[in-house]
Amino acid sequence: MRYSSPFKLLAKVHLLHKYYVDVEQLNVVKEALHVSTPPATATVVCREVEYNRVLDFCKQSVEQDKAGSLYICGCPGTGKSLSIEKVKEDLVDWANESALQAPDLLSLSCTSLSKTSDIFGKILDKIQPRRKANGSISPLQYLQKMSSQKQLSTGGKMTLIIADEMDYLITKDRTVLHDLFMLTTFPFSRFILIGIANAIDLADRFLPKLQSLNCKPAVITYRAYSKDQIISILQQRLEAFPYTVFQPQALELCARKVASASGDMRKALSVCRSAIEMLEGEIRDSIYSLQLPSLKMGLSDQQRGGSCDKLPIQESGVVRVDHVAIALSKAYRSPVVDTIQSLPQHQQIILCSALKLFRGKKKDATIGEVNISYVDVCKSTLIPPVGIMELSSMCRVLGDQGILKVGQAREDKLRRVTLNIDEADITFALQGIRLFRNYLQQL
C-alpha cells in the first residue's frame, strides 16, 4: 500500500523523535554502567561478607581506641575499592550515631608517590598540616616518636589510612612496607591502616617478616566474580530503568565469558557499554536509511487511523546476544575463537549441537545424542545433514584439535563426547555468523 506524502512525512518525523528518545535512554544506561558510577544501592552486591569484615574491623578499632592493620588483596575488578568507599561512608555515619569520634580519613594511591618513603610525609601532613619541616628528623621518625610517647600522641581522633596499590611500596629490602605496618604497633599509635593490593601472593611474601616484627595484619581476600555474581551486579545496575535494555541471554553470555577469563567486573561493564554503542549505531543506520519495519512493511489499521505513538523501532532498542558477542570478541580475542570461526560449516554445527546439549547440568553425551541435536540444528538452518558415520569422523577431527574430548566404545554412536573448551567461546564465535545467530538466541 502506498502512503500519502503528508503521512510519510509525519511517520518520518515520529521515527526521528523516537530515535532521539531511544538514544537518550541508552546514554543514561551507559552512564549507569560506567565503572566510575557508584551503584545506587545501600549494599555492596556480592561483596557483603568482605564489606562487613572490613567495617567490623574499623568499628572495633574506633570503639576500643586501638590501632591495627588490615591487608586486602584480590585481582583487579573484584570490588575492593568499591567496598572501601562504602566502608568509609558507613564508618562515619556509625560513629556519629554511636556518639563516638569518627577517625580522620587519609586515602592515597601509592603509585602517586615520587618515592615510596614519601608516604610518611603524606601521613604527617594529614595529622599536623601546619607542622614545619625539620631537617634533623624525618617524617617517619617523627611519626614513630609521636606514637611512642603519650604526651606527643594526639589522644583525640584516630586516623584511618587507606593505602591503595600497596604493591608499589615493595622495595628490595621492603623497609618502607615494614615501617608502615609497624606504625600501628607502637603503644600510643592512633593509626588504623588498610593496605590494598592486586597481588594475591603479596601477603605470603611479606607476612612472615611482619609476623616476626609483631605487626602481622588481618588478611581479607577478594575472589574473582563468578558468572552468577556478575549477572546479579549487572541486573542491580539496570533495575532502576523502567524499560528492558538487554536480552537475558546477552547478559548471561557476557557474564559467562568474563567469569571464565578473569572475573573482572570492570571488563563486564566495558563489554556491556560497547554492546550498547553497537545498538546505537544500528538504530542510527536504520533511521537514516529508513529501513524500519514500520515504513517497509506498512502500518496496522489502528496506526493508519492516525495513531503514530506505537510505531516500533529496532526491537524496542534491546541489546541482543550478537551485540554482546561482537563486543566480547573485541575484548577477548582468543585463538580458540579464531579456530572455531575457521572450521568447516558442519563442524560448527556439531559444536552448536553440543552447546545445546550441555546447557544445564549435562556435561557429556553420546555421539548418537549429538547426532539427534545436530539434525535438529540442520533442520532449523535448512542445511542437509550428513550421516552419523561422517558426523563421528568429524567429532574425532574436533577431538584432534582439542575442541572436543571423544571417548572409546564398541559402537561409534555410543562414544561419549565432552566439550574441551569454554561454552562462551563457542557462543560468541558462532554468534557472529548469521547462520547460527537466531538459533543461539533461543538456547
**Contact status, residue 291 vs residue 309, Cβ threshold 8 Å:** no
HEC-encoded secondary structure of the chain? CCCCHHHHHHHHHHHHHHHHHHHHHHHHHHHHCCCCCCCCCCCCCCCHHHHHHHHHHHHHHHHCCCCEEEEEEECCCCCHHHHHHHHHHHHHHHHHHCCCCCCEEEEEEHHHCCCCCHHHHHHHHHHCCCCCCCCCCCHHHHHHHHHHCCCCCCCCCCEEEEEECHHHHCCCCCHHHHHHHHCCCCCCCCEEEEEEECCCCHHHHHHHHHHHCCCCCEEEEECCCCHHHHHHHHHHHHCCCCCCCECHHHHHHHHHHHHHHCCCHHHHHHHHHHHHHHHHHHHHHHHHHCCCHHHHCCCCHHHHCCCCCCCCCHHHHCECHHHHHHHHHHHCCCHHHHHHHCCCHHHHHHHHHHHHHHCCCCCEEEHHHHHHHHHHHHHHHCCCCCCHHHHHHHHHHHHHCCCEEECCCCCHHHCEEEECCCHHHHHHHHHCCHHHHHHHHCC
- In the prediction, which pLDDT does 139 show? 93
| Interatomic CA distance for residues 143 and 123, integer angstroms | 8
Cell 617478616 appears where? 209
- Reading across the β-sheet that carries 364-366, which strands appear in turn? 364-366, 416-419, 404-406
Alpha carbons 30 and 23: distance in angstroms, whole number: 10
Instruction: List per-residue pLDDT tens for the chain, 443 residues long.
Output: 444 466 555 655 555 656 666 778 888 999 999 988 888 776 789 999 999 999 999 999 999 999 999 999 988 899 999 999 999 999 999 999 999 999 999 999 998 999 999 999 999 999 888 776 666 789 999 999 999 987 666 556 899 999 998 888 877 667 898 899 999 999 999 999 999 988 766 666 777 777 777 788 999 999 999 999 999 999 999 998 988 999 999 999 999 999 988 899 999 999 999 999 999 888 887 776 654 444 333 333 333 333 333 333 344 579 999 899 889 888 887 788 888 988 999 999 999 999 888 876 678 899 999 999 999 999 988 899 999 999 999 999 999 999 999 999 889 899 999 999 888 788 878 877 778 877 776 76
Report pLDDT for 202. 64
Gyration radius from the chain CA atoms: 30
Its pTM stands at 0.72
pLDDT value, residue 152: 63
- Model pLDDT, residue 54: 97
Per the DSSP assignment, residues forming a β-bridge with 80 are: none
